[in-house]
Amino acid sequence: MREIGINFGNKTALVQLWAPQAKKVELLVTDAGHRLALKKGHLGHWSLQTDEIKPGDKYQFVLDDDKKLPDPASLAQPDGVHGPSQAVDLNALTWTDKQWTNPPLADYIFYELHTGTFTPEGTFDAIIPKLDHLVALGITAIEIMPVAQFAGGRNWGYDGVFPFAVQNTYGGADGLNRLVNACHEKGLAVVLDVVYNHIGPEGNYFANFAPYFTSKYQTPWGDAINFDDAGCDGVREYFIENALMWFRDFHIDALRMDAVHAIKDLSAKHILQEITERVDILQQQTGRNYYLIVECDLNDTRYINPLKHGGYGINAQWTDEFHHALRVSAGQQQNGYYSDFNGLADLAKAYMDGYVYTGQYSAHREKKFGSQIVNNPGQQFVVFSQNHDQVGNRMLGERSNQLYSLQMQKLLAAAVMVSPYLPMLFMGEEMGETNPFLYFTSHQDPELAEAVRKGRKAEFKAFHAEGEAPDPQSVNTFQNSKIQWQLLQNPERQTMFEYYKALIALRKQLPALKTLNRKNVKVEVDTNKQTLTLYRWHQDQVVVCLMNFSKQEKPVNLRSEIKQWDKVFDSAEPKWNGLLASPQKINSGVGLKLQPQSVIIYTKAHV
pLDDT per residue as tens digits for the range 511-570: 999 999 999 999 999 999 999 999 999 999 999 999 999 999 999 988 777 888 999 999
- pLDDT for 587: 86
Chain segment 2-18, per-residue pLDDT in tens: 889 999 998 899 999 99
Give the mean pLDDT of 152-164.
97
How high is the mean pLDDT of the chain?
95
Chain segment 315-364, per-residue pLDDT in tens: 999 999 999 999 999 999 999 889 999 999 999 999 999 999 999 999 99
Q: Say if residue 442's pLDDT is above 70.
A: yes
Q: Say if residue 391's pLDDT is above 70.
A: yes
Q: Higher pLDDT residue, 456 or 157?
A: 157
Question: What percent of the chain stands above pLDDT 90?
Answer: 91
Give the residue numbers marked as catalytic: 258, 295
Query: Helix, strand, or coil here: 325?
Result: helix
Distances (CA, A) of 308 to 110, 273, 351, 363, 380: 28, 11, 27, 35, 17
Q: Higher pLDDT residue, 587 or 227?
A: 227
- pLDDT for 590: 74
Query: Is 540 annotated in some ligand binding site?
Result: no
- pLDDT for 535: 96
Q: Say if residue 607's pLDDT is above 50.
A: no
Give the mean pLDDT of 429-457.
93
- pLDDT for 458: 79
Query: Is 416 annotated in some ligand binding site?
Result: no
Question: What percent of the chain stands above pLDDT 70?
Answer: 99
Distances (CA, A) of 545 to 266, 497, 500, 534, 556: 44, 21, 16, 5, 11
Chain segment 365-379, per-residue pLDDT in tens: 999 999 999 999 999
Q: Say if residue 588's pLDDT is above 70.
A: yes
Query: Is 79 annotated in some ligand binding site?
Result: no
Query: Is 322 annotated in some ligand binding site?
Result: yes
Closest by CA to 602, choosing from 539, 537, 555, 551, is 537
Could you give the angle at which helices 406-417 and 491-509 cross, rounded to 10 degrees? 20
- pLDDT for 466: 65
- Contact indicator for 249, 293 with CB cutoff of 8 Å: no
- pLDDT for 606: 62
Chain segment 30-40, per-residue pLDDT in tens: 999 999 999 99
Q: Can you say whether residue 530 is alpha, beta or left, with left for phi > 0 and alpha for psi between -120 and 50 degrees?
A: left
Domains and CATH numbers, the chain: 5-90 (2.60.40.10), 513-604 (2.60.40.1180)
Query: Is 258 annotated in some ligand binding site?
Result: yes
DSSP alpha helix (H) spans, 150-259:
172-185, 232-250
- pLDDT for 238: 98
Give the mean pLDDT of 461-474.
76
C-alpha dihedral, 520 to 137 to 153 to 464, nearest 10°? 70
Query: Is 323 annotated in some ligand binding site?
Result: yes
Closest by CA to 183, choosing from 250, 118, 258, 242, is 250
* CA pair distance 12, 571, nearest whole angstrom: 62
Q: How far apart are the first and last CA of the chain?
A: 60
The structure's pTM equals 0.97
Query: Is 391 annotated in some ligand binding site?
Result: yes
- pLDDT for 591: 80
Give the mean pLDDT of 133-162.
98
